Structure 1
Amino acid sequence: MLKLLVPIQLFFVGFFGFFGFSFINSPEENHEMTICKTVGETTLPTVSVNPSLTNSPIETDPNKTYTLPTLTKNNKGEVVLYWTEKDPQNVVSLCFATSKDGKTYSEKKTVFADGGLGNGRLMRPKLLFKKNGEMVAVFSYRTSPAMPPREARPSAQLQEANHSNHNAPAPQQAPATRPKRSSEIRFTVSKDGGSTWTSPTSVDTDTTKLTRGFFDAVLLANDEIAVAYLKDVKGSTKHEERDLRLAITKNGVFQAEKLIDAVVCDCCNISMVVDEAGALHMVYRDNNNDIRDMSHIVSKDNGATFSAPKTLYADKWEIKGCPHAGATTVSVKNEQYATWFSGTQNGQSGFRLASSSGKLLKVLDASAKNTYITADDKTAVLVWEQTSESGVSNVFYSKIINGKLLDSQKVIDSDYGQNASTLVFNGKVLVAYEVLKADKKTVLAAKVVE
C-alpha cells in the first residue's frame, strides 16, 4: 500500500483537519452542562454557560485537557458520558459519569490512567455494558516508547549558547529517530459499576510487537464482545500495510483473532453496529487498486462468518494514500446509516450520509468535519462541527426520521465546539463536545436539546 505523498498529506491535514496515526496522548431550547470549569481570562474564547449549571458535581482541573466526550446508555437505560483527560505529566485517564436525565451527572469514576493510553480522535475508547451489568472498556495502548515532545528536545541555538563559554562550535546532534511503533487494543472489566477494574490486557492473543489500531468495539446479540481493528502485516516491507482483523470473546475471554479483509485502507477507523435482528454490521474503508470507498459486510452468526464486501456508496474515490478518516454507523429498525468523508472528484467532495441500501441522503458543506451518528429505535441524529468564515467552529445536528433528513440546527452557544458525539434519550437529543480554549486546551460541554 503506498503512503500518501507529503504535499497531499499537508493538504488533508490543513484543509480537512484530519490527523495521522497518533497515540498522543433553531428555535429549540438548549440546556447546557459544562463539565469542566471555565477560566475567566479575557484572552480566552467566550463560552456561554448556563449559570444554574456551573457547579458541576464532576471534579475538574483547569490544568488538564479534556477530550473525546462520548455519550451512550448503560444496561439500565441511563445516560453515560465518558471522556479522556490528560494532565501536565502526560498521563491520560479514561473517565465516565452517569445521568438519569441527561442534565445532572454523578461524580466521575476513573477506568484507567496511564501515559500509554490512546486518545486520538480516530480511536475513541469504547465503554460497553453487558446485560448482566458488567462494564467493558476497550482502548488503544501504546507499547513502544514515545518520542519526546518537540519542545523538550534541545535546539541548535540552545546547544550553541551552552557551549559559548568554551569558544568552540556546538557539537552537531543527530536528529532523533522515531522508534518502531507498537501498540495494542486492550480491555478491562468492572463487575461493581465501575468502582474497580481488572488489569487491562490485549484483545489480540498474538504477542508480536506490531501496530494495532483504528478499532471499534461492540456488544453482540449473544452478550459477547467483538473488537475489529487494523493490524500491521507481518514481514511487510511497505511503509504502512495493515489488514482488518476481528477478535471475539467466548464466555468473556477473547479468542484468537480472525482475518476479515487482507487489503484495506491502512489508517481509517472502523465502525460496527448490531441491528434489531441481532446481525452485526461492519463498515470500513477498503482499498481496491487505490479506490478508497467504504465497504459494508454483515454477520448473522455473531461474527463467525460474514457476507461478501459490498460498496456502501460507489464514489470511486481514487487516491494513492490513506485519508485518515473512517465511518460511524447506526441502526434504525430495518435500516442502517453511515457517515464518512470522500474526496471524490465528481464535485461532491465532503462528508456524506448514506443508508445501507445505497441511498445518499446528504453531502455536507466543505467546511464540515468530524461527523458522528447515533439513534434510538425510531430516530437517528447526525452531528458535526462546521467552521465559519471567521474561523469559529460550531456544533450542528440534524435528525433522520423515516429515512428523511430534516433541516440542520446549530447547537446554541457551541462556539469553538469540536469532536461532538450525540445520543437520543427519551425522545430528546443529547450532544457532548469539546470546547477549544485560547491556550489550546479543551474543556467539555454537554447539552440536552429539546
Structure 2
Amino acid sequence: MLKLLIPISLLFVSLFWKGMSSKEENRDIVVCAATPLLNEEMSPDRPTNLVVDAPIALDPTKSYTLPTLTTNSKGEVVLYWTEKDPQNLISLYFSTSKDGKTFGEKKLVFADAGLGTGRLMRPKLLFKKNGDMVAVFSYRPGGATPPREARSATPSHETNHNNHGTQAAPPQARPKRSSEIRFTVSKDGGSSWTTPTSVDTDTSKLIRGFFDAVVLPNDEIAVAYLKDVKGSTKHEERDLRLAVSKNGVFQAERLIDPVVCDCCNISMVVDQSGALHMVYRDNNNDVRDMAHIISKDNGMTFSAPKILYNDKWEIKGCPHSGATSASTKTEQYITWFSGTRNGQSGIRLTNSSGNLLKVLDANAKNASIAADAKTAVWVWEQTSEAGTTSVFYSKVDNGKLLGSQSVNNSNNGQNASSLAYNGKVLIAYEVVTADKKTALALQTVD
C-alpha cells in the first residue's frame, strides 16, 4: 500500500490511491517528521482510508519543493527537499532510508529566508567517501526577494507647495542584486552543520548561480556556476567558473568558458572511470547549443568544448533551461530542451557521443535523468490538453531506450527526481495542491 506525503485533502487521496498499474509496484513510503502534527490537529475532513503508520511529515501550512533522491556513502537512499513556512522561512531537510521504502526522522541542514529554491538551482547534498556530508546551495543575502525601487508617496501630479512647487524626489535606484553559492559540512551524519560559507572567495556583489556540484574521485568537491562578468554593460552577461576544494577548503575559482548562455543550469557527473563531465549551454553569436567538456585530472584541466548536438538554435535571449546528465557503467546520457526550427524542437535525449535517442513532443518539459551502473531513468512532466501536468518516465537499458510510461495518479505532479535502486526506480516529485501550495510525493515503479 502506498503512503503519500501530501497535505490532508480528499482531492489528492484520489490522485494516488486509485488504479495502480500492474507495471508499477506499490510500496509503503513514510517520512517521519521531527515535530509531527498531532491527530487532534488534523482537518476533520481527513479521509479515514489514508493509512498513517508514522507521524505525518507534511504540514499543510507549508510549501514543499525540489524533492531530490540520491544515495549516501553507505548505499542508503536519501531524500532531500525544501520547506517554506508562512513567514517565508526556507528550510533544507533530508531523510534516510535503509531499504528504499521507509524513511527515518528528517534532519535540518540549514534554514534562512535567503536559501535558494529555484528549479534551475536545486540544492545538492553530497556524500564523501570519508563520511562527511556536504550541502551546496544558492543563497541571497538579505532574503529571497531583493528590495524593489523606492517609490515616492506623493503622486507625480501633485507638488509640494512648501518647497516652491518642486516635485517629489525621484525614486532611488534598485540595489544591485547579488547571490552566492554556499556550502556547509556535517561530520556526524547530518546532526550538526558548519556555518555556511561561500565557495567563491571574491566578495564582490555579483550574481552567482545555475550551479552544480559533485564529489570528485579524490574525495574533494567541485562546484561549477555562472557568474556576472565584472564591469559588463549588458543586461545579463555571465561566464562559467569552477571552484574545487583542497583538504576541504575551496581554492580560488577558475574561469572555464568566458562566453556562455547566462541563465541555464549546468550539469556535472563523474563517470565510472573517474572522468568529470560538464555540460552547459554555450553561446556562440546567439547560437545556444549544449557544450560538453571532460576533465581526467579532478577538474584541473578540461578538454576543448564540443557541441553535443548541432541544433544551431539561435535565440536572442536565455531559454532558462539547461541540461541534466547521468552516467551508467558504459555510457553517459544527457537531456535538455532545444527550440530549434529544424522540426525537432523539444526535450531531447542523447548519449555523450551526441547520438539522438529521442525528442519528446511539445507538451513535455522539465526533464531530468539519473542512473546506476546499468540503467538510466529519464523523467519529465507531460502537460495534458486540459493544462494539468503528470509525471512520465522511460528507462534506458544497455543503450536501448524503452517505451515511456506515466507514473500512475501523478496528476499535478512536477519537478520530478528519480533514482535507480536495487532493480527498482524511485520517483519523487512535487504535487500542486488545491490551495496552490506544493506537497511531496514518492512512488516506486518496477
Output the TM-score relative to the length of structure 1: 0.85
1:6 aligns with none
Indicate how the Cα distance of structure 1 residues 351 and 53 shifts in structure 2: closer, same or farther if over 3 A, else same: farther
Asked whether 1:135 is paired with 2:121, we answer no
Give the corresponding residue for 2:107.
109
SS at match of 2:240: strand
Determine if the alignment matches structure 1 residue 32 to structure 2 residue 2. Answer: yes
SS at match of 1:48: helix
1:423 paired with 2:423, answer no
CA contact (8 A) 2:357 2:401 kept: yes
2:301 to 282, 301, 305: 305
Which residue in the other structure is 1:406 paired with? 402
Cα distance in structure 1, aligned partners of 2:151 and 2:83: 28
Q: How far is 1:346 from its partner?
A: 0.4
Matches within 5 A, 1:37-186: 37-40=7-10, 46-49=14-17, 54-57=52-55, 59-143=57-141, 147=145, 178-186=174-182
Q: Give SS of 1:105's match.
A: strand
Count of aligned pairs:
405
Counterpart residue number, 1:164? none
Name the CA distance, whole Å, in 2 between partners of 1:92 and 1:176: 29
- 3-state SS of the aligned residue for 2:442? strand
Pick the structure with greater CA Rg. 2
Check if 1:257 corresponds to 2:253: yes
**TM-score, length basis structure 2:** 0.86
Q: Does 1:205 align with 2:205?
A: no
CA contact (8 A) 1:144 1:181 kept: no
- Post-superposition Cα deviations, 1:367-393, rounded to whole Å, max 9, x if no partner, equal 001101000000000001101111221
Q: Secondary structure at the match of 1:47?
A: helix
Instruction: Give secondary structure in 1 for the equivalent of 2:185.
Output: strand
Partner of 2:279: 283
Q: 1:45 to 1:173 in 2, by over 3 A?
A: farther
Alpha-carbon distance in structure 2 between the residues aligned to 1:82 and 1:433: 11
Letter in 2 for 1:310: K
CA contact (8 A) 2:418 2:426 kept: yes
Provide Cα deviations, 1:45-83, integer angstroms capped at 9, x if missing partner: 953248575444453211000000000000000000000
Change (3 A) 1:187 1:146: closer
Q: Aligned residue for 1:365?
A: 361
> In 2 relative to 1, CA 126–147 (structure 1 residues): closer, same or farther, beyond 3 Å?
closer
Tell me if structure 2 keeps the 8 A contact 1:281–1:298.
yes
Looking at structure 1, the residues matched to 445 and 172 of structure 2 have their Cα atoms a distance apart, in angstroms, of: 49
Deviations 1:18-68 (A, max 9, x none): xxxxxxxxxxxxx6342243334x6x7953248575444453211000000
- Aligned 8 A contact 2:366 2:380 in 1: yes
Q: Which residue of 1 aligns with 2:41?
A: none
SS of corresponding position for 1:122: helix
Q: Alpha carbons of 1:90 and 1:426: their partners in 2 closer, same or farther (altered >3 Å)?
A: same
| Worse-superposed segment, 96-105 or 351-360 | 96-105
**Please, which runs of 5 or more residues in structure 1 have no aligned partner?**
1-30, 160-170
**Quick one: which of 304, 311, 323 aligns to 1:327?**
323
CA–CA distance in 1 between the matches of 2:247 and 2:234? 38
Percentage of pairs with the same residue: 72
